[in-house]
Every structure is written in structure tokens, then in C-alpha cells.
Amino acid sequence: MLDRTTAETYANWFRALADPTRVQILHLIASAGRPLAVGEIVEQVSVSQSTVSAHLKVLTESRFVLVQPQGTARLYRVNEQCLSCFPSAADVVMGRAAVEFADVACEVTR
């Protein structure tokens, strides 16, 4: 059985990915191979800058995306730990993997 903290972490991850625009944004950032500015993301996604910013806020709060300041700009990059942890989280929730992955999930959220 998953402990409550791990279950909440996983629920937050799944909730963050429950919107198709956020999935597109995360895919774009992960595929870019470099940090992206909001303007670069807006150019690729067919929504306004304020909407992209709101989605980035959710993705950063869930730690899928990390922010790195560069001068007056803020660049967004994928959290590499999530690339390996999230698929394991899905497997754990679906009962296809051991619960030991729970320890890894907690490290990503700190």
C-alpha cells in the first residue's frame, strides 16, 4: 500500500497532466533539449501568453518543469528526475511495479 504522502505526490502529478495544453507544453519543453522562454512556448502552442504562463505555473508547482532565471527572463526546462520517475509512478499506482519507487517520487518533490 502506498503511504499517503506518496499517493498525494502522484495525484498532483496526474492532476498536472490532466490538461492537454499542459501535456503539449511539457512535451515541447522536454523535446527542445534546452530551456525555453515563455515567448518561444507561446509561438508553438495555440494559446495566449497568459494561458501558457498559467499552465507553466501548474507544471512548476508539480516539479515537472523547473525555472531558471536568466537576466530579466525566466527560462523553463524539464525536471530530468521526472522523466524517469513519472513512468514508474504510473506503474506503481497500477500495481505493475514495486512500491520502492515511492522513495524516488519523494526526492523529486523536494
Distance between CA atoms of residues 78 and 47, nearest Å: 20
> What is the per-residue pLDDT across 35-92, written as a single tens digit (0 to 9) for each?
999 999 999 998 999 999 999 999 999 999 999 999 999 999 999 887 777 767 777 7
Half-sphere exposure of 6 (CA within 13 A, CB side): 19
Domains and CATH numbers, the chain: 4-109 (1.10.10.10)
**Three-class SS state of 99:** coil
Q: Residue 19 CA to chain centroid, in angstroms?
A: 12
Residues shown for the chain = 110
Quote the pLDDT of residue 68. 95
**Three-class SS state of 67:** strand
pLDDT tier, 108 (very low <50, low <70, confident <90, very high otherwise) = low
- Looking at the predicted structure, is the pLDDT value of residue 93 above 80? no
